[in-house]
Each structure stands twice: as C-alpha cells, then as structure tokens.
Amino acid sequence: MPVSASAIYFLNLRGDVLINRLYRDDVGGNMVDAFRVHIMQTKELGTCPVRQIGGCSFFYMRISNVYIVIVVSSNANVACAFKFVVEAVSLFKSYFGGAFDEDAIRNNFVLIYELLDEIMDFGYPQNLSPEILKLYITQEGVRSPFSSKPTDRPVPNATLQVTGAVGWRREGLVYKKNEVFLDIVESVNLLMSSKGSVLRCDVTGKVLMKCFLSGMPDLKLGLNDKIGLEKESQLKSRPTKSGKTIELDDVTFHQCVNLTRFNSEKTVSFVPPDGEFELMKYRITEGVNLPFKVLPTIKELGRTRMEVNVKVKSVFGAKMFALGVVIKIPVPKQTAKTNFQVTSGRAKYNAAIDCLVWKIRKFPGQTEPTLSAEVELISTMAEKKSWTKPPIQMEFQVPMFTASGLRVRFLKVWEKSGYNTVEWVRYITKAGSYEIRC
C-alpha cells in the first residue's frame, strides 16, 4: 500500500521544529516530543531510520542540517516514504536554487507550506514533478547568493499538463536542431578462477537518452531482443533476418514508455521527457562477451621473494580500444621492494592498498600485454602463516562495445510537423565487479 503519513516534521539538529504539517488526526501533537526523547537524545539516532514508539512508526532522514520525519499510525510502505522524502527534497532544491538547509527552510516557509499541500493529500503522495508544479505554483523561493539562476520558464495550459496523459513533458517546445542522443551503458560483473573458468558473470545495463525535440514526438526503439524479434516476426507473418539475439532479464522502464504496447507488441514506444533521462534498465546472465581475459601466475619463492606474472588479453575487435584500464594485483602486507617489467603502460607498488597497480591508458583490441614483477618481502620471526590471496581487480571502459551484445536496430521519431531528426547512438562497457582469483 502507498504511504499514509499522519504528519511530517522538519527539525534542525537541536530538535526544534522548523515546519510541520498534519495530514490526519490519528496522531497527537506531541509526536515530535517522542522523537526527541526516544531517538534524538539517545545513541540510536544513526542506527536505524525506522523506529516504532507506542502505536506510531517514525521514518526519518537527515539532509544537510535538517531532519525530515514522517509519522504513520498504520502499516505503511517504508520504501515509498523514503522515496517521497528524496523527491520532495529535489523539488525544494529546484525552487531554492539547489540549496536545502535550515536557512533555506526559514526563508521559504510560506512556499514550503504551499508545496506540502500539493505534494501530499490526506497522507498519500501526489505529483512531485518540479516541471509540473512550477506551472501553477509560480512563486520563486529565496535563493542563496551562490545558487544558479532559474532557467525553467512556466508555460500556459497548466491544467492540461497536470491532468493529461503526458505529465512528464510540456507543450510548446521548439528547437532549431532536433537531436536525439542514445547511450547504452553496461557494467560487467565477473568472478573468474585462477585457471580461467568463469564462476559468476552478469551484465547490468542502462539505456540513457537525451532528447532535444520540438513538439510532442512519438519515438519507437527497436533492439535485438529475442522476445521482441519473435513478436515482430509473428505480426509481419515472416521470419526475422536479424543476427544475434539476446534475452533481457529484470527490465524496468521509465514512466513514459507505453507498457500496453510493449506487452502486446514488445516494442518500446514512448513520448520522451525533454532533456536527459533513463529510458530503461536491464540485466543479462547468459551469453556475456567478456572484454578481457586475465591469466595470473604468482609463485612464492621461500619466505622473502615472490614472482608475479600477469597476462591480460583484450577479446574485442582489433579496431577498438579500451580506455583507463587499471589492474590491481594484490601482494602481501610485508612487501619491501618491487621490480617491474611491463610491455605496455606503467606499473607501481601502492603500499596503502597492498597492490601492484598497472595502468594502461589506451588498450587496443586483440593484444596481450604482460607484467612481470619480482617482489621482496620482509622476513619476520613470527611463525609463517599462509597468505590468503585476494582476487585481482580490473577497471576499464570500452567504447562502442557491449558485453551483452545488445544493439539498437532502429530509432524512429514521428511528429505531426514532420521535421528531420538527427540520431546519435553510443555504446559503453565499464567494469562493475571484475575480479580474477589468483
């Protein structure tokens, strides 16, 4: 169920009430006193953001030097409550020029009361979009001298924006050059054994868009998704001629996506918000194309010497390259001296993290640079204990490569005025948790 807040309080660090709003009469006015005595004046303030006192629950969060406390008297959705707080703070910052602290609240208490009446009704969250609320709450907040100047201009027809089906985009937008930028950004999570076998591997990805389009355009995105291609071939009554297909797991969409059309036709159709937004998120667990293979060899020569040999092979195409590659090779804490030989990039010993750090600024595809190092250890009188070898970690970014194999088949833009659109598509693969056991 959605959160049904009985009251919301804004407190400073001393526990003084800056602003409060009661939405229901099922809690008393002394709830804030219970919060001060049982939570703020004890050592349990930072232990758990949810506390139950008597028959009421307190959800609280600290933003800058302000505590925001939501009081509920019944079973409520905690995640929804904290999501409401985060969105409300973002709304206040958009009115106050990016600042949200005790001074901003004291200088804008009239505006905050007006906003609190709009964003929550009888304890249930309502519309928290700054673009929509600024259409009919046009009062400007008192801004900090260091804040940026407002850039949002209210447009007419606020009622249509609030009650219409496209509440995330306002009408009347005009651009001299209509452009769409689409980025597919993926993070590879890998755990590999010392012999090169994959123990765990998955890819989490995001489709990020930046739209500068006039009017109310309707966009249609096609991917090489297996289910989508099969549905498309059924609707067209002919087999698909696409190449590799992938299966997307755990897909979540932005609210602008037409879910009814996606469920029936498996196509991503949407009227985009203006500017930058995240269109969808997904995860892939099968058929992952690893950008790198790491083959480590670490030999302990007695108690005072080690030999480290690491070969890193780039699996992607020869015309591609990775940027900012960092390989962290763990060594024992009693390391005293190291000597390196690398065929590409630079390496050094970082005593703060007990690792040999190998950096390659530009890593071409289909190459196999190697690192060889001699490590001298400090001999101790204590009984030797076996060294538990932590995994090798990698950081990288590979432009125009997707570990999942996801590709954009088409991106169509339709608008009743029929203007021409320039589409830009980019692929980026990054390292999430990329670890190789030694």
pLDDT tens, 104-122? 888 888 888 889 888 888 8
CA distance 340 to 332: 16
Is a pLDDT exceeding 70 seen at residue 380? no
Q: Which two tokens stand for residue 103?
A: 């001074």
CA distance 203 to 249: 10
Give the angle 295-300-306 at the CA atoms, nearest 5°.
80
Give the model's pLDDT for residue 243. 56
With a CB cutoff of 8 Å and minimum separation 6, the contacts of 295 are 196, 310, 311, 312, 313
User: Is residue 395 within 8 Å of residue 324, measured between CB atoms?
Assistant: yes
Over the stretch 154-203, which tens digit does the pLDDT of each residue have? 444 454 445 455 678 878 889 999 999 999 999 999 998 877 788 899 99
Over the stretch 36-76, which tens digit does the pLDDT of each residue have? 887 777 766 667 888 887 778 888 888 888 999 888 888 88
Over the stretch 318-329, which tens digit does the pLDDT of each residue have? 999 999 999 999
Give the model's pLDDT for residue 155. 46
Least confident of 97-111, 226-240, 339-353: 226-240
Model confidence, pTM: 0.68
Mean pLDDT of the chain: 84
Over the stretch 13-34, which tens digit does the pLDDT of each residue have? 888 888 888 888 877 767 778 8
Give the model's pLDDT for residue 234. 56
Distances (CA, A) of 202 to 32, 191, 205, 283: 46, 10, 10, 7
For the chain, what percent of residues have pLDDT higher than 90? 37
pLDDT grade for 372, boundaries at 50, 70 and 90: very high
CB neighbour burial string for 312-347, b if at least 16 within 10 angstroms, e if fewer: bbbebeeebbbeebebbbbbeeebeebebebebbeb
Give the model's pLDDT for residue 179. 95
pLDDT grade for 127, boundaries at 50, 70 and 90: confident
What mean pLDDT is predicted for residues 130-136? 77
Give the model's pLDDT for residue 2. 62
